Structure 1
Amino acid sequence: MDELTQVRDWDTGAEGLSDRARAAARARLETAVAEESRGRAARTGGPNRRLVLRTALAGAVAAGAGVTVVVARDADGGGGRGRTTQLHTVSAAEVLRRAADWSRTANSDLPVPRDDQYFYTRTYVVQTYLKGGRTRTWTDESWMSVDGSKPSLRQENGKIHHDPPLGKHEVAWPPTVYSKLQKWPTDPDKLLDQFRHGMKSSPRSDVDAFFEGCMLLMGPRVLPPALQAAAFEALSKLPRIRIDHHDATVAGRRAVGVSHPGAAFTFLFDRKTYDYLGLRTKGSSAKEVNGEWKQVNYYYRTATLEDIQVVDRIGQHH
């Protein structure tokens, strides 16, 4: 059993892991992600997700379970003379379904990208350390080749990376080419089956499905109409999804999070409209202590996509 499998099987009916065990698993996971990507290709014949994971944060969410959030709304108390507070309990599945409804009403003004173009993105990042409550903020800009045939310029954590074109036998996953995404199912049940790679529901395949949904929505890509809504509805069918009770504010908007206990990512949605705002991760940095690598400096990182454009060359913004 590989380390990623062990992390995915956390909290599947057994008692919770100790802090020491959690830290050890996180440390192993960061080195296992690339191996898991290669292993997935070998097991399923699918594409190599190493290219996707260039910008993904590794880690395992081990927060306490929670399945509902209480949203307070003001209501007219009658005759305009007062107000009362009504409490509405919303499940994680309902949040995702409402996000799907919102997605259907939101029209993208982005053009359909050509294969030879670039996605320009500007991302605002907030990283808050759990110990000491220190907060860092920065903005990353990137130009990513739509079909991977051209070199890309990627800024991550404020550092510039020059990525070479994809190799002859490498395929970006999930695809960024619009014509390939058009072939994806928009029926939620069929899309969930694709997220699971045809496997039956199990603790492992469910985490895989949640992870695949995160990768699809992480971008950068232009999604065909109805695909984003179908993704949210597909993920709403997963068992064990839960409300993430850590309060978050994204671009001045209060957010509600939906996560899975075996995944590192949390979807963030506007508390009133359920507009999709971005992803939050829980991560850490590794440090060698007495010949062993240990995880230190745990943090939450929220990435907000401030701008995305389809452009013709690196350096172009519009």
Structure 2
Amino acid sequence: MDELTTVREWGTATAPDGPSDQARAAARARLRTAIDEESRSAASRGRVLSRRVVFRASLAGLSAAAVGVAVVVARGDEDDDTPRLSTVSATEVLRRAAQRTRAEGSDLPVPRNDQYFYTQTYITRTPVKGGKTRTWTDESWMSVDGSKPSLREEYGKIHHDPPLGEHEVRWPPTVYSKLQTMPTDPDELLKQFRRVGGDSPKADMLAFMEGCMLMMGPRVMPPGLQAGAFEALSKLPRIRLDFDDVDVVGRSAVGVSYPEANWTFLFDRRTYDYLGLRTKGSVPRKVGKDDWVQSGWYWETRTLQDIRVVDRIGQHA
């Protein structure tokens, strides 16, 4: 079967009237961008794109526009000159990330209550309107059961956290035993995320943010909890792929976000490894006696670089 026949049959089988004008326009725009990018890449290697490669990009782009998914382009391992096109949705990315998390498991020993979790987090912050990127490599030693003082570094500043009080409640929890009590079943976990928003119109957005908060900070996920969280959030109807090409410590990432929420999960485009979180934030500025405004908007990315179970603060291994 030739390629034009494929397109004609696709149009009649998938949608009798064909894609809408808006879908076609969106597909053409993405196609032009893809062709430009591939052409520049090919030119830099002294190669010429074949008609078949260009056609595959156009067919994938048109299909994606019609069914509401995104095209993630990666290069094949065997032939660097041949793009590998894969059509996936935000839902599928989260599900594959959950599968990847379960397959990898954890090589951490089961911690004792008197031990610490040592974490090293790499942070980058770039102004939204452009400018110099700032970086930090923060180290933290968090008491496993919260009964001992912890040392937490944030943006290079040291914080000495006292032991948690007997009835102190934190969300998300930082104490390992409390994280262990959270459900790993995706449906039950999604119910817990949704308790914050209740029946409000923004309940799903708040649930997504709860999932992001669970992953943020120097905390350790018990077995099954991270995978359960990804699967729970994959059930939200409005999650979407972030099309920005994000570099996370030398790895190309695809993001999953939610409308109106300034939080994005970042995953490796090839392996679906969870790489970290990207957030949009600002610096509050006082403009009156009791008035503040948000200014200096920035993009921030957090990546967990290392995690170990140690016996004392200051120990790395």
Q: Calculate the TM-score normalised by the size of structure 2.
A: 0.71
Per the TM alignment, residue 103 of structure 1 is displaced from its structure 2 partner at its CA by 0.8
Q: Secondary structure at the match of 2:286?
A: strand
**CA shift at 1:285, angstroms?**
0.6
Residue of structure 2 equivalent to 1:138: 136
- Superposed, 1:230-249 pairs within 5 Å as 230-249=228-247
In structure 2, what is the Cα distance between the partners aligned to 1:302 and 1:192? 25
| Match runs of 1:49-60 below 5 Å | none
Shift of residue 75, structure 1, vs aligned partner:
6.0
Task: List alignment gaps of at least 5 residues for structure 1.
Answer: 1-66
In the TM superposition, 1:130-169 aligns within 5 A as: 130-169=128-167
Give the residue type in structure 2 aligned to 1:311: V
Query: Helix, strand or coil for the counterpart of 2:202?
Result: helix
Q: Does 1:315 align with 2:314?
A: yes
Which of 258, 277, 280 in structure 2 is aligned with 1:279? 277
Question: Structure 2 CA distance, aligned partners of 1:90 and 1:236?
Answer: 13
User: 2:316 aligns to what SS in structure 1?
Assistant: coil
What percentage of aligned pairs have identical amino acids?
A: 68
Cα distance in structure 2, aligned partners of 1:140 and 1:238: 32
CA shift, 1:148, in A, is 1.9
Shift of 1:204: 2.9
Residue in 1 aligned with 2:214? 216
Q: Which runs of 4+ in 1 moved over 4 A?
A: 80-84, 198-202
Does the 8 A contact of 2:145 with 2:177 survive in 1? no
Q: Say whether the 8 Å CA contact 1:193–1:199 is kept in structure 2.
A: no
Letter in 1 for 2:235: K
Q: 1:94 to 1:240 in 2, by over 3 A?
A: same
State the match for 2:72 in structure 1.
Answer: 71
Aligned equivalents of 1:311 and 1:293: distance in 2?
42
Report the Cα distance in structure 2 between the residues aligned to 1:208 and 1:181, rounded to whole angstroms: 20
Q: Give yes or no for contact 1:112–1:222 (8 Å, CA) kept in 2.
A: no
Q: How does 1:100-179 map to 2 (within 5 A)?
A: 100-179=98-177
**Which one has a bigger Cα radius of gyration?**
2
Q: Tell me the SS of whatever aligns to 2:184.
A: coil
Q: What residue number does 1:98 align with?
A: 96
The reply on whether 1:306 has 2:305 as its aligned counterpart is: yes
Q: CA deviation at 1:207?
A: 2.4
Distance change (3 Å), C-alpha of 1:243 and 1:317: same
- Tell me the residue number matched to 2:265: 267
Counterpart code for 1:253: R
Q: Give 1:72 shift.
A: 1.6
> Residues 1-12 of structure 1: matches in 2 within 5 Å?
none
Count of aligned pairs: 249
Name the amino acid aligned to 1:133.
G
Distance 1:175 1:273 in 2: 29
Answer whether contact 1:143 1:153 (CA < 8 A) is retained: yes
Give the Cα separation in 2 of the matches to 1:177 and 1:103: 21
Partners of 1:190 and 1:209 lie apart in 2 by 12
Counterpart-to-counterpart distance in 2, 1:249 and 1:269: 10
Gaps of 5+ in 2: 1-67
Pairing 1:35-54 to 2, within 5 Å after superposition: none
**Whole-Å separation in 1 of the counterparts to 2:219 and 2:302:** 16
Q: Which amino acid aligns with 1:99?
A: A
| 1:278, distance to aligned residue in structure 2 (A) | 0.6
Do 2:100 and 2:273's aligned partners in 1 also have CA atoms closer than 8 Å?
yes
Q: Distance in 2 between matches of 1:85 and 1:177?
A: 45
Report what 2:65 is aligned to. Answer: none
Q: Is the 8 A contact 2:140 2:218 kept in 1?
A: no
Aligned to 1:97, what secondary structure does the other structure show?
A: helix
Aligned residues of 1:112 and 1:178 also touching (Cα < 8 A): no
Listed one character per residue, the Cα deviations across residues 36-70 of structure 1 (whole Å, up to 9, x for unaligned) are xxxxxxxxxxxxxxxxxxxxxxxxxxxxxxx7432
Post-superposition offset of 1:230: 1.3
SS at match of 1:134: coil
Q: 1:290 to 1:95 in 2, by over 3 A?
A: same
The one-letter code of the counterpart of 2:93 is V
**Cα deviations across residues 97-141 of structure 1 (Å, max 9, x unaligned)?**
110111111021111222222111111111111223321112111
| Aligned-residue CA RMSD (Å) | 2.5
TM-score by length of 1: 0.71
Alignment partners' CA distance in 2, 1:199 and 1:283: 21
